[in-house]
Amino acid sequence: MPQIFHRSFNTIARASIVGVVLLIAAIGFISWRVNRSAYITYVKEPLPQPVPFSHRHHTVTDGIDCRYCHTTVETSWYAGMPSTHTCMTCHSQLWVHSPMLAPVRASYREDKPIEWTRVNTLPDFVYFNHAIHIHKGIGCTTCHGQIGKMAITYRAHTLYMRWCLSCHNHPARYVRPRAQVFDPIYHRPSEKHPLVYEGVVYTRQMPLGRLLVKKYRIQSLISCDTCHR
Ligand code: HEC
Ligand code: HEC
Ligand code: HEC
Ligand code: HEC
Ligand code: HEC
C-alpha cells in the first residue's frame, strides 16, 4: 500500500485532536466559571446601600445582638428589617451630625422608611423559613457568611437549590449549639478554634454535629414539597 498521507500528517492529526479536546474542556470550564461568578450570582459583591451600614461596627465593635434589629428572625419565616426608629434610639444621641447618617435623619423627619437594597433573595416559588433553622441550631453565619467582618453587607452563598440540599443532606456537618447561633464571626470547632459544649472540648465538627443532630432531633428534609409547596 503506497503511503497516501505524508508521515507528518499523523502528528498533525494527533495534535489537532488533542487541541479540540482541550478547546472543548476550556469552553466548558469558562462557562462553568461564568455561571458561578459574582456577575451572575452576586456572591461576595457588596451592594450599594442608601446608608453605609456596617455590621462589623454594630455587631462586633458595639456588640449589638442580631435580634435587636432583625426582631422576628426566631419566630417567623422573615428575619425582619430595623425601622428608622430603631436606628434613632442611638443615633439621636450618637453621631448626630454625621453626613453618613443624613438619610437616616431625613427618613425619621419625613416618616419614610429607608429603602435598603436587598442582598439575599429567593425566587417566589421557593418556601423558606428562618425560625426553624434558628431553632435547630443553624447559625446566621453558616448561610450569610461572617457578617461580623462585613463593612458593607454582601451575599456569601449562591442560595441555589444544590446549596440548600448540601446541608439538608448532611445537617451534622453544619449544626452548632443553639447558644452560638447569633455569633457574628463563628468558627466551626477545629484545633485552632476549640469549642466547649457541656463541659466537653471539641476540635472537630463531626462528633459535635452528630450529637446535636440527635439532641435537636434534626431530620434530613429533602423531599421536593419541603421547599416547593
Ligand atoms: C443595628 C442594627 C443591626 C444589627 C444589630 C444587625 N443588623 Fe443585619 N442589617 C441591618 C440593616 C440596616 C440591614 C440593611 C442594610 C444592609 O444590607 O447592610 C441589614 C441587613 C442584613 C442582612 C442582609 C439582608 C438582605 O437584604 O438580604 C443580613 C443577612 C443580616 N443583616 C444579618 C445580620 C446578622 C446575622 C446579625 C447579627 C450577627 C445582624 N444582621 C445584626 C441592621 C442590623
Ligand atoms: C445600640 C446603638 C446603635 C443602634 C441601634 C444603631 N447604631 Fe449606628 N452606630 C452606633 C455606634 C456606637 C456607632 C459608632 C461607630 C463605631 O462603632 O465605631 C455607630 C455608627 C454608625 C454609622 C457610622 C459609620 C460606621 O462606622 O459604621 C452609621 C452609618 C450607622 N451607625 C448607621 C446606623 C443605622 C442605619 C442604624 C439602624 C439600622 C444604626 N446605625 C443603629 C450605635 C448604634
Ligand atoms: C439556612 C440558611 C439561613 C440561616 C441560618 C439564616 N438565614 Fe437569613 N436568609 C436566608 C435566605 C435564603 C434569605 C432570603 C430569603 C428570601 O428571599 O425569601 C435570608 C434573608 C435574610 C434577611 C433579609 C430579610 C428576610 O427575612 O428575607 C435578613 C435580615 C436575614 N436573612 C438575617 C438573618 C439572621 C439575623 C440570621 C440568624 C439569626 C439568619 N438570617 C439566618 C438564609 C438563612
Ligand atoms: C446549613 C444548613 C441548612 C441550609 C444551608 C439550609 N437549610 Fe433548610 N433546614 C435545615 C435544618 C437543620 C432544618 C430542620 C430540619 C428538621 O425539621 O429537623 C431545615 C428545614 C427547612 C425547611 C422546613 C421548614 C418547615 O417549616 O417545615 C425548609 C422549607 C427549608 N429548610 C428550606 C431551605 C431552603 C429553601 C434553603 C436554601 C435557600 C435551606 N433550607 C438551606 C438546614 C439548612
Ligand atoms: C431545601 C430546599 C429545596 C428542596 C428540598 C428542593 N428544592 Fe428545588 N429549588 C430550591 C431553591 C432554593 C431553588 C431556586 C434556585 C435558584 O435561585 O435558581 C429551587 C429551584 C428549583 C427549580 C427551578 C430550576 C432551578 O434549578 O433553578 C426546579 C425545577 C426545582 N427546584 C425542582 C425541585 C425538585 C423536583 C425537588 C425534589 C427532588 C426539589 N426542587 C427540592 C430549593 C429546594
For residue range 39-92, list pLDDT tens digits in order.
Answer: 567 788 889 999 999 999 999 999 999 999 999 999 999 999 999 999 999 999
* 153 alpha carbon – ligand 5 mean position (Å): 25
Which regions of the chain are under pLDDT 70?
1-40
Nearest CA to ligand 4 atom 2: 167
Pocket of ligand 5 (CB under 6 A): 122-123, 126, 159-161, 164-165, 168, 222, 224, 226-228
CB 86 within 8 A of CB 68: yes
The predicted pLDDT at position 207 comes to 97
Most distant CA pair in the chain, distance: 97
* 79 alpha carbon – ligand 3 mean position (Å): 6
- Ligand 4 proximity of 140 Cβ (cutoff 6 Å): no
- CB-side neighbour CA atoms (13 Å) of 52: 5
- Ligand 3 proximity of 133 Cβ (cutoff 6 Å): yes
* 36 alpha carbon – ligand 5 mean position (Å): 17
The predicted pLDDT at position 42 comes to 77
- Ligand 3 proximity of 121 Cβ (cutoff 6 Å): yes
- Ligand 3 proximity of 73 Cβ (cutoff 6 Å): yes
- Ligand 4 proximity of 219 Cβ (cutoff 6 Å): yes
The predicted pLDDT at position 125 comes to 96
Percent of the chain with pLDDT over 70: 83
Which bound ligand lies closest to the C-alpha atom of 216? 4
Task: Name which of 89, 53, 74, 46 is nearest 182 in CA terms.
Answer: 74
Distance CA 129, CA 123 (A): 14
Distance CA 124, CA 227 (A): 11
Task: Name which of 123, 229, 224, 122 is nearest 168 in CA terms.
Answer: 224
Distance CA 19, CA 182 (A): 52
* 117 alpha carbon – ligand 2 mean position (Å): 18
Nearest CA to ligand 2 atom 31: 53
Q: What is the grid cell recorded at 164?
A: 440548600
- Ligand 3 proximity of 120 Cβ (cutoff 6 Å): yes
Distance CA 114, CA 99 (A): 16
Distance CA 135, CA 183 (A): 15
Distance CA 203, CA 10 (A): 58
Distance CA 77, CA 35 (A): 29
